[in-house]
Amino acid sequence: MPIATVNPANGERLETFEAMDENELERRLELAEATFRTYRTSTFAERARLLHRAADLLDADRDDIARTMTTEMGKPLKQARAEAAKCAKAMHWYADHAAELLADEEPAETDVKDSGASRVRVRYRPIGPVLAVMPWNFPLWQVVRFAAPALMAGNVGLLKHASNVPRTALYLEDLFHRAGFTEGCFQTLLIGSGAVDDILRDERVKAATLTGSEPAGRAVAATAGEMIKKTVLELGGSDPYVVMPSADIDRAAGIAVTARVQNNGQSCIAAKRFIVHTDVYDTFAEKFVAAMAALRTGDPMDEETDVGPLASEQGREDLEELVEDAKRSGAEVLCGGQRPDGPGWYYPPTVLAGIHREMRIHREEAFGPVATLYRAGDLDEAILIANDSPFGLSSNVWTRDDAEVDRFVRDLEAGGVFVNGMTASHPAFPFGGVKRSGYGRELSGHGIREFCNITTVWQGA
């Protein structure tokens, strides 16, 4: 895939970038290693000052970078602005909390004495240059949620961004440099995916984090395993959205629409499988389908647009194949389900019912504004359907019954359970999944410690 900015609203190629050659890559890897040797000794106060400055600059740039994101990957402009604001918030949060999150820990005094020591500390130390392989769907947020904690921990970052968002990738490098971070602290590598393996094998790169497809995750994990390097993987999801009879159906149906079509439906944590108790299925389905059908699809630069184009022509073809396979296997199309005429990679908000296990869409992630409806006879069946997926990123549960909440929290196979609300990420809460959704955690204290050397410091009498 060429490294290029192509407007998904009309298919126009706006700019093409040359991939970095071996000499430039070597220069940047050398710079990353050299920078780490000094940056690792900086104080939390120094790092926080720089990160606060980056956040302030991002806030000032919000409108411009939002237009860049929308141009490159098609998210509605108002959502792009919100993404930029969220990134600035996360930067401020890590700047304010990193010192506390990575403070030395003192084991219990009885354990210290039992070990024969006069003092024992657990210290979190940075490990070095970390390679981040990031996707296009949240081109700022995915990077910032790695970069902010990594930089505050004393690591340096190497970004291999998706090839269709090069302007955003270069903006991020420039942002950190303008904030005062030295050049080697954060570098964007304009390279194709074929160059990732060699970089990960380089001894100067100490770890990697990837958000993306399952094949990409397998490839990075395989190389990292061979090289014995730490990885964090977030590989997508097909999140369940369970609605029980005690739920506020009007609210559940309304939020379900946002949960499905946010970011044009191209979100790993978007609700995708809507599992509704039979007692309220018809009522929920009627409200949900009507609201999905009423969404405005069109120019993502238009403030009134709800759903913009998919990010790529291939992405639309992949989504269309899932829908057509389901239709051939007997799925009922309650709204949408047909590619519109005209330029751009648009696909309408779509709801499918009558889903069964033989359909590809039951097992595969639908990356676009397509929802699947399931009818569950009781709580046990709802949990069974929810867990019948290779993914386990997050989940949504709508019920006002505390006993049901306890069952869902205990039995759902997911990295998160959101009760009476839609899944969302926040810098204070850990984010990540189980099963084929990956491993490791981002955000919160758990995220910042992923790429730290957890060091036991034992001192004798």
Owner of token pair 């400055």 = 53
**Helical segments of 278-391, H only:** 278-293, 313-328, 360-363, 379-387
Tokens of 308: 């913009």
Hey, what amino acid is at 176? F
Q: What is the DSSP string of 440-454?
A: S-BSHHHHHHTTEEE
Exactly one of 87, 268, 335, 452 is catalytic; name it: 268
- E-strand ranges in 226-385 read 230-234, 239-243, 271-277, 332-335, 350-353, 370-376
Counts for the chain of helices (H) and strands (E), in that order: 16, 19
Active-site residue, 26 included: no
Structure tokens at 174: 């420039």
C-beta of residue 352 within 8 angstroms of C-beta of residue 334: yes
Distance (Å, whole) CA 397 – CA 376: 13
User: Catalytic pick from 33, 173, 234, 364?
Assistant: 234
Q: Catalytic site residue 234?
A: yes
The sign one gets for the Cα dihedral 326, 328, 334, 338 is: positive
Sign, Cα dihedral of 23, 25, 28, 34: negative
Catalytic residue list: 234, 268
